[in-house]
């Protein structure tokens, strides 16, 4: 029975929820985060708990990672840079690849399991839906920074497979499809729903990129962490790539309208369409994105169930409370 | 006159480029660990006062900083390219960290960079021919056959990221299969070298898969011409160029042509090698061909040597080595 877990990126959105759940389930958790994007506030419910230890540090710090991982049975590697849309392509490429590389190197030494958080973005603009774990990756031109996130994750996945084949590292790759929920990041980093809720709370126009008819599937955080937990509990998940996502598909525009309705009732939504050409540099969006979740069902006995309506309500409630806390509530 | 540093400069392409640059009056510095490059490749100009060879590792940043004093352009060729022979981890490491080291040096020394990439980055994109804007479609990561392509795709992204963040001027050249005299005779040099060796010995020719896969082949002097044009057009940076030829042919037909140009009659015996024997999860790309419009317009690049002429010259060189 696994009892000790290291979570990298523990102070982030997914990391904090996962750490909380591990603690609740009786695991001992070491949470590593450099607090560049994560916050200690996210961990407030477990900071000081006897089963939780927080360490401020960088995943690129090999010695630190080696010391921490020598005390655990598994590393859940979530620490990553996400959105290069507004710059930071270099950080994204660097942090994401060196992070997983270090995790794999230490796990080769201490023989702990590795869970690598990858992303639905690796499927890129592949037009063949839904995406199964063996679908092709379809990237755009290197001049377009947005691909640096997906490319860094693909390279990370390759490193996982190579360490698995050449050094018997027991790894599992999870491709998360757009998680949302309380404690999500309040910028674009946290996804469009985060921005839309903020706008609706402040009665500002919701910025919709392109025509808003691009679709996504949104996975409630409880489902994301449930899937992750099951991976740790099942040996069959070793050596596998598994999609973790909700199959409910919706356009970005519908999402905006829905959020507005939950926040503002019947008042007509304020929407501002932002053409892609207004982004700095070139940008390329992905039109549709839906996971095939058969493998998750088969291996983990699990598929995300929380509907967008069920998930949005607690998310909006939370976001309202923190927005108030900042004294930025609308008058 | 400018000074050009070529990493992997003792290799096949690097040595041809060095000679061409020296002939035009450039100073040339070569860095090579001689793991796959060969000193014989550069023997005829190794004593030239405008030439210097350093044996070293492309991951050794301090050494690179030292030897790049006064350098105007780094042409980065040092690479591992066949993971099924070189080790997968090694392939990714040399390719990605090598590029990162070069970009770091370029940033500190304020040097521009030309990255040698490959048409393998287009992967199995079914829309042909590939233009520089084409999507890069690669198979899933559990097929490690793609680790070379992803390491190149990553390197390309890294180039643009350094250009954006630190104004390092970069250009990327995606080559098709380059062949010609001094190419390697094993699989590292592509199918062509192996085919010629076998044809000259009148031995069966080994072909991976069914031999109906199509590839674009470019003669080495044309590839070199493409690089020279990028070096000479100082105002061009931040561009990706396909550098190939108009010759695309099936691997099987390539084998037949080589067989007859080698002076043999009839058809060769073909030894088909199934992919599962080659490498687990191997996925081949059926057709790979490139659109040269961009290089034609911006670089005035026009490949001169057709496949027949190119093959004859290459076979002559192989004969001379025997």
Q: Taking the mean position of all CA atoms in its chain, how far away is CA B282? A: 21
CB contact under 8 A, A136 and B89: no
| Average pLDDT, rounded, for chain A | 93
Residues 266-285 of A with CB under 8 A from B: 281
C-beta separation of B298 from B236 below 8 A = yes
pTM of model > 0.90:
yes
State whether ipTM is beyond 0.85. Answer: yes
Query: In chain A, pLDDT over 90 holds for what percent of residues?
Result: 85
Closest partner residue to A90 (CB to CB) among B88, B141, B161 is: B161
Report whether pLDDT(A330) > 50. no
Domain boundaries, chain B: 3-178+220-244+290-303
CB contact under 8 A, A155 and B154: yes
| A102 CB neighbour count, 10 Å cutoff | 23
Residue A162 contacts B where some CB pair is shorter than 8 Å: yes
According to the 3-state scheme, what is the secondary structure of A234-268? Answer: CHHHCCCEEEECCCCEEEHHHHHHHHHHHHHCCCC
CATH 3.40.50.720 for domain A4-182+218-248+288-305, yes or no, is yes
CA distance B45 to A94: 39
Q: How many CB pairs under 8 A join A and B?
A: 111
What's the confidence (pLDDT) of residue A331?
A: 32
CB contact under 8 A, B138 and A152: no
pLDDT digits (tens, 9 = 90+) for A17-55: 999 999 999 999 999 999 998 999 999 999 999 999 999
What's the confidence (pLDDT) of residue A1?
A: 59
CB contact under 8 A, B160 and A89: yes
**Catalytic residue selected from A81, A149, A163, A220:** A149
Residue B151 contacts A where some CB pair is shorter than 8 Å: yes
| Average pLDDT, rounded, for chain B | 93
Is A176 considered catalytic here? no
CB contact under 8 A, A138 and B137: yes
CATH classification code of B3-178+220-244+290-303:
3.40.50.720
A117 membership: H or E segment, kind and range: strand A113-119
SS3 B254: helix
Beta bridge partners of B174: B117, B242
CA distance B76 to B5: 8
pLDDT digits (tens, 9 = 90+) for B107-147: 999 999 999 999 999 999 999 999 999 999 999 998 878 88
- Our separate counts of H helices and E strands in chain A read 9, 14
B105: distance to nearest CA of chain A, Å? 15
CA distance B234 to A130: 46
- Spell out the residues 6+ positions from residue A208 whose beta carbon is closer than 8 angstroms to its own: A252, A253, A256, A271, A272, A273, A274
């Amino acid at each position: 029975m696994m009892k000790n877990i290291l979570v990298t990126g523990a102070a982030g959105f997914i990391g904090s929820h996962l750490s909380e759940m591990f603690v609740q389930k009786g695991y001992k958790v070491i949470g590593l985060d450099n607090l560049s994007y994560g916050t200690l506030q996210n961990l407030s419910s477990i900071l000081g708990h006897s089963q939780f230890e927080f360490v401020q540090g960088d995943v690129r710090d090999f010695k630190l990672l080696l010391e921490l991982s020598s005390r655990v049975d598994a590393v859940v590697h979530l620490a990553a840079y996400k959105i290069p849309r507004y710059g930071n392509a270099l950080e994204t490429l660097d942090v994401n690849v060196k992070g997983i590389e270090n995790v794999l190197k230490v796990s080769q030494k201490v023989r702990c399991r590795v869970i690598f958080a990858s992303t639905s973005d690796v499927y890129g603009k592949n037009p063949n839906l839904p995406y199964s774990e063996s679908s092709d990756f379809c990237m755009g031109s290197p001049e377009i920074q947005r691909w640096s996130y997906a490319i860094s994750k693909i390279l990370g996945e390759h490193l996982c497979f190579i360490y698995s084949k050449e050094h018997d590292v027991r790894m599992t790759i999870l491709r998360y499809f757009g998680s949302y929920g309380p404690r999500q990041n309040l910028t674009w980093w946290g996804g469009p729903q985060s921005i839309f809720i903020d706008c609706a709370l402040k009665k500002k126009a919701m910025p919709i990129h392109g025509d808003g008819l691009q679709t996504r599937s949104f996975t409630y955080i409880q489902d994301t962490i449930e899937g992750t937990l099951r991976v740790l509990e099942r040996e069959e998940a070793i050596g596998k790539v598994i999609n973790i996502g909700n199959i409910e598909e919706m356009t970005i525009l519908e999402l905006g309208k829905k959020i507005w309705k939950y926040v503002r009732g019947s008042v007509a939504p304020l929407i501002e369409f932002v053409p892609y050409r207004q982004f700095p540099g070139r940008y390329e969006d992905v039109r549709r994105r839906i996971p095939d979740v058969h493998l998750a069902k088969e291996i983990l006995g699990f598929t995300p169930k929380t509907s967008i309506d069920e998930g949005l309500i607690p998310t909006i409630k939370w976001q309202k409370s923190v927005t108030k806390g900042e004294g930025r509530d609308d008058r | 006159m400018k000074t050009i540093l070529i990493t992997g400069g003792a290799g096949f392409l690097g040595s041809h480029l060095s000679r061409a640059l020296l002939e035009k009056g450039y100073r040339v510095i070569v860095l090579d660990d001689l793991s796959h490059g060969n000193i014989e490749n550069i023997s005829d100009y190794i004593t030239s006062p405008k030439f210097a060879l350093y044996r070293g590792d492309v991951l050794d940043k301090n050494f690179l900083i030292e030897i790049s004093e006064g350098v105007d352009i780094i042409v980065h060729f040092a690479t591992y390219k066949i993971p099924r022979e070189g080790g997968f981890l090694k392939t990714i490491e040399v390719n990605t960290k090598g590029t990162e080291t070069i970009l770091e040096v370029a940033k500190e020394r304020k040097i521009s960079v030309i990255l040698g990439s490959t048409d393998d980055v287009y992967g199995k994109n079914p829309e042909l021919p590939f233009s520089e804007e084409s999507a890069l479609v690669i198979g899933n990561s559990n097929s490690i056959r793609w680790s070379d392509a992803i390491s190149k795709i990553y390197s390309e992204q890294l180039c643009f990221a350094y250009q954006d963040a630190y104004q390092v001027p970069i250009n990327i050249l995606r080559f098709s299969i380059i062949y010609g005299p001094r190419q390697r005779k094993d699989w590292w040099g592509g199918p062509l070298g192996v085919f010629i060796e076998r044809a000259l010995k009148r031995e069966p020719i080994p072909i991976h898969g069914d031999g109906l896969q199509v590839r674009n082949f470019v003669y080495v002097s044309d590839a070199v011409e493409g690089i020279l044009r990028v070096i000479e057009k100082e105002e061009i940076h931040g561009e990706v160029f396909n550098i190939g030829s108009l010759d695309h042919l099936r691997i099987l037909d390539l084998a037949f042509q080589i067989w007859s140009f080698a002076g043999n009659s009839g058809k060769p015996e073909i030894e088909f090698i199934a992919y599962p024997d080659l490498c687990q999860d191997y996925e081949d790309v059926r057709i790979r061909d490139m659109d040269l419009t961009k290089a034609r317009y911006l670089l005035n690049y026009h490949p001169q040597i057709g496949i027949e002429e190119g093959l004859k010259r290459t076979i002559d060189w192989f004969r001379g080595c025997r």
